[in-house]
Structure 1
């Protein structure tokens, strides 16, 4: 099978300021464990510093009712574009995909997640379960930031 990277895109409206929303994911993303405990059960910084390129974390989360983990590296931070790219280095998602990245791009009134993935086999389904997850994350973080 040729190396082909596919993408899924999810966009969610946000009411809080774009800078505040972007900075949450850049500097305070570990708070997801408190904001969304039904999905995020743990996070641990393994390398680097929060909010910097190269920071590596191990996330424990639940997707489709299944507890999984992923070691994720911040690959790109573009403050001007309010964009962050996270690359999965190891974990359960890589049992299905050769590569898996998620990029968050924030603008006034909108947050967009672009999930880039390379299937392990032609029969591997796209990671569509991540779409409702990222939409729910955006909704809960937006609500949290509006009152905090």
Structure 2
């Protein structure tokens, strides 16, 4: 029987929330240039950056493993600075039947929530993905403070 799991974490940021949110909403493919050791590639496959429905393909290094993840931006709430993504394809689909991420940019912090449906009872919680996301938030914050 499939199990629905929700995990979340919050990372403190010093950069302005508007600048951070704008990068995530409109220019996430820049992560490759910003962090070539973490991200191998990121490309917009469908739609327009900053618009609901756009689809992006990311190739990144999760520890020792190369991962691919094709995601669609399902919801944008500019007033609350919330972005909701749904994963469509990737390595993770072997262990998760569904994978959704919510990013909320606040004054002084970024909250990341992940909701997955495990493909089977032995599938792990998505803690590695959450840790990777938090590390990326911290790296983006440091980058934005220096550029």
Looking at structure 2, the residues matched to 24 and 45 of structure 1 have their Cα atoms a distance apart, in angstroms, of 14
Looking at structure 2, the residues matched to 76 and 30 of structure 1 have their Cα atoms a distance apart, in angstroms, of 18
Are the aligned partners of 1:88 and 1:100 in contact in 2 as well (CA < 8 Å)?
A: yes
Identify unmatched segments of 5+ residues in structure 2.
none
* Correspondence for 1:78: 77
Identify unmatched segments of 5+ residues in structure 1.
none
* Correspondence for 1:27: 26
For residues 7-46 of structure 1, the aligned pairs below 5 Å read 7-46=6-45
Query: In the TM superposition, what whole-angstrom CA distance separates every residue of 1:46-83 from its partner, at most 9, and x where no partner exists?
Result: 10000110000111111131111111100111101100
* Correspondence for 1:127: 126
Matched length: 147
- Displaced runs of 4+ in structure 1, greater than 3 A? none
Cα RMSD between the aligned structures? Answer: 1.0
Give the TM-score of the pair, scaled to structure 2.
0.96
Looking at structure 1, the residues matched to 98 and 71 of structure 2 have their Cα atoms a distance apart, in angstroms, of 12
Give the TM-score of the pair, scaled to structure 1.
0.95
